[in-house]
Amino acid sequence: MKKLKIKFTLIDDEGKEFSGDVDLNPTKSSSSLKLPKEKTKNFTGLKGGIKFQIDEGFLKELRTAKEVHFELKKESYFHSIESVDRRLRFLVTKKILTRIKEDKIWKYAVRR
């Protein structure tokens, strides 16, 4: 990594000039710093998007697949409604979610 040198001139209230040089040494960028594993969460893909919704408490109440799909779009997860419904039904088989039919519409919520 390269060293940076900055030249500066300052003028105080009385009109006196001060000038100088500053050498800056490179440091590790924040992107190369690693967080402890317990603090990092992987919310990639459709599975991660639904996991994010579960962790945020969105699925504590009964929600339709359309509501889940709309909320995923807000969080920049762009998947088809069919894919969302398929993933929700898969989570029901894994006993993470439960579903109830109300007014001929399936609604999903976190299993308690």
Element (H, E) at 97: strand 97-102
pLDDT of res. 92: 95
Can you spell out the DSSP letters for 12-52?
-TTS-EEEEEEEE-----GGGPPPPGGG-----HHHHHHHH
Name 107's bridge partners. 64, 100
- Fold entry, domain 41-110: Arc Repressor Mutant, subunit A (1.10.10)
pLDDT of res. 24: 77
pLDDT of res. 27: 67
Give the residues of the chain that fall short of pLDDT 70.
Answer: 1, 26-41
pLDDT of res. 13: 84
| Measured distance CA(91)–CA(108) in Å, rounded | 10
CA 17 to chain centre: 48
pLDDT of res. 5: 81
The per-residue pLDDT for range 67-91, each reduced to its tens digit, is 999 999 988 888 999 999 999 999 9
pLDDT of res. 40: 44
| Measured distance CA(54)–CA(18) in Å, rounded | 58
CB neighbour class for 33 (10 Å; exposed up to 12, middle 13-18, buried from 19): exposed
Kindly list the domain boundaries of the chain, sorted by start residue: 41-110
Residues in contact with 36: Cβ distance below 8 Å, sequence separation at least 6, in sequence order: none
